[in-house]
Amino acid sequence: MTLPAGHPLSDGLTATSPLVRAMRGDRPDTRPVWFMRQAGRSLPEYRAAREGTEMLDACLTPDLAAEITLQPVRRHGVDAAVYFSDIVVPVLLSGVGVRIAPGRGPVIDEPVRTAADVLKLRPVDPSAFAPIREAVGIVVAELGSTPLIAFGGAPYTLASYLVEGGPSKDQLRTRALMVSDPHTWATLLNWCADVTGAFLRAQVEAGASVAQLFDSWMGTLSRRDYQRRVLPHSRRAFDALRGTDVPRVHFGLGTGEVLDLLPLTGADVIGVDWRLPLDAAVERLGTPLPIQGNIDPAYLFAPWDLLAAHARDVMQRGEAAPAHVVNLGHGVPPETDPDVLTRLVALVHEER
């Protein structure tokens, strides 16, 4: 896969942006910052735009998905937009029955728990991504030199939703399948890698300049199980972007014990959650890669002087890496005051 003619990364429009430069190991004069879940429930304009529209319907309505993606860039002045979607969108487009239950999250109509269930899963038809490509095109046209980040769920996290039937704190059914039927597990993870890889590829082909893989539940895995039974499939998902010059970011929760393994996924940038100071994360990584993170979202509800001091400490610790993209250590909580995020962006941009 090569980037199409006119892609904002290959024609230079986003290649010199602070975000892309930092993700390639450079240190631009202005430190780049964006937030996971920056497009969402913390913004009143998001709630107004989404009113009366189901989540997955919003994700597949190009003009609405584009508008929601652009809202945080307009309001906060962040250095990147992240495509507004849900990790189960490619699962839905593959023909699996899934819905978003308010207050709970993705719910699978018929959980995938046996070899026969896995064999029923069908490859995703690339034409199904037409609404995604259209939305990305709208976003990229308005962003200009500001890059768009493609969004995709890592195979393990996707598989956990499929097996559990919905969100789970410990993924017991998922991990039981992994250890009791390794062949079925590998087949399922390959399918998840292929659909999420195709999802990322569609966004990149349409104009996204960066791709991030989110592995929300990998912290439930032992180091051995992650290395043997999950990591190769995350690498397979990123392989869908082989041949492009798009920076690839890996973010997971609870990754402190496996940080040194994450570069093996093919990631160019490692996202770090709030639990581990960035200088310690760089030491554990052992590979000189740019890092992303890791302001504790809890500080968004603290007095400003505490948040500012914490953010400065995160930026100072980020100096240990070749380059640093400022972000939260997880997503923006829905209750966050948007003005706090706007003020935080200004603080990051002022720091040298």
User: Which segments of 110-154 are extended strands (E)?
Assistant: 148-153
The model's pTM is 0.97
Residue 293: name the closest of 179, 198, 212 by CA: 212
For the stretch 269-327, pLDDT in tens is 999 999 999 999 999 999 999 999 999 999 999 999 999 999 999 999 999 999 999 99
The C-alpha atoms of residue 68 and residue 267 are separated, in whole angstroms, by 27
Residue 221 pLDDT > 90: yes
Look at residue 103 in the predicted model and tell me its pLDDT.
82
Which residues, 6+ apart, have CB-to-CB distance to 344 below 8 Å? Answer: 33, 295, 300, 307, 311
Domains along the chain with CATH numbers: 18-350 (3.20.20.210)
Residue 42: name the closest of 337, 296, 307, 301 by CA: 337
- Residue 91 near residue 195 (C-beta atoms within 8 A): yes
For the stretch 55-88, pLDDT in tens is 999 999 999 999 999 999 999 999 999 999 999 9
Residue 20 in tokens:
């892309």
Sheet of strand 269-271, all strands in order from the earlier edge strand to the far edge? 81-82, 148-153, 210-215, 248-252, 269-271, 291-295, 324-328
- How far does the chain reach from its first CA to its final CA, in angstroms? 38
Q: What is the dihedral of CA 324, 325, 329, 334, to 10 degrees?
A: 160
Residue 117 pLDDT > 80: yes
- Residue 55 near residue 40 (C-beta atoms within 8 A): no
Residue 1 pLDDT > 80: no
Look at residue 329 in the predicted model and tell me its pLDDT.
98
Q: Residue 181 carries which DSSP code?
A: -
Residue 102 pLDDT > 90: no
Residue 50 pLDDT > 90: yes
> Would you tell me the crossing angle of helices 182-205 and 231-239 to the nearest 10 degrees?
30
Mean pLDDT of 223-243: 98
Residue 352 pLDDT > 90: no
Mean pLDDT of the chain: 97
Mean pLDDT of 185-203: 98
Q: Cβ–Cβ contacts within 10 Å for residue 102, how many?
A: 8
For the stretch 126-141, pLDDT in tens is 999 999 999 999 999 9
